[in-house]
Amino acid sequence: MDRFFTRIATAISVIAGQPLTFLLAVGIILVWAVTGPIFHFSDTWQLIINTGTTIVTFLMVFLIQNAQNRDAAAMQAKLDELLRAVGKARDRFIGVEHLTEREIELIRAALEREARNASSNQSKDVKGTVDRLLDRF
C-alpha cells in the first residue's frame, strides 16, 4: 500500500507542478467565469467551482504533506550519513530532529556562539555548552 501511494503521490505531484497544469486550472476558472452570465450567476454555478476547488485542495494537502515528509526524511538520512562519515563531526547530532523546537533552538544558538567564537579561547567553553545540551536531551 505504501509503495502504491508513494508512486501515485509522486506522479500527481510531478503533474501538478507543471506549467501546463497551472494553465489548465486557469482555463477551467476562465470557462467557469465566462459561463456565469449563461447560468445567471446561480447558486449552482457558484457551488460547482466551490466544490471543485475544495475537493482538489483537500486532496492536494495530503499529497503535498506526503512529499514534504519523504523529502525531509531523505534529507535527514543524508545529513546523518554525512555526520557519521566526517571525522570531526559530532555524531551525537544524529537524531536531534526528534527534539522539541525549544531544545533545537537552544542547540542552534549554542552552535552559533561556537562558530562566532571559533578563533578565540571561548570556543572550548561554548563547545562544552553544546555537548552538555546534547547530553541533556
Question: For every one of its 137 residues, what pLDDT tens digit does the chain have, with 9 covering 90 and above?
Answer: 888 988 998 899 899 999 999 999 999 999 999 999 999 999 999 999 999 999 999 999 999 999 899 999 999 999 999 988 988 888 888 888 888 889 899 988 988 888 887 766 555 555 677 777 777 76
The confidence score (pLDDT) of residue 45 equals 95
Output the pTM of the full model: 0.64
CA distance 94 to 86: 12
Neighbours of 106 (CB within 10 A): 17
The confidence score (pLDDT) of residue 137 equals 66
Of the candidates 129, 104, 99, the one whose C-alpha atom is nearest the C-alpha of residue 114 is 129
Domain ranges of the chain: 2-89, 99-137
Neighbours of 126 (CB within 10 A): 19
CA distance 79 to 81: 5
The confidence score (pLDDT) of residue 32 equals 96
The confidence score (pLDDT) of residue 88 equals 83
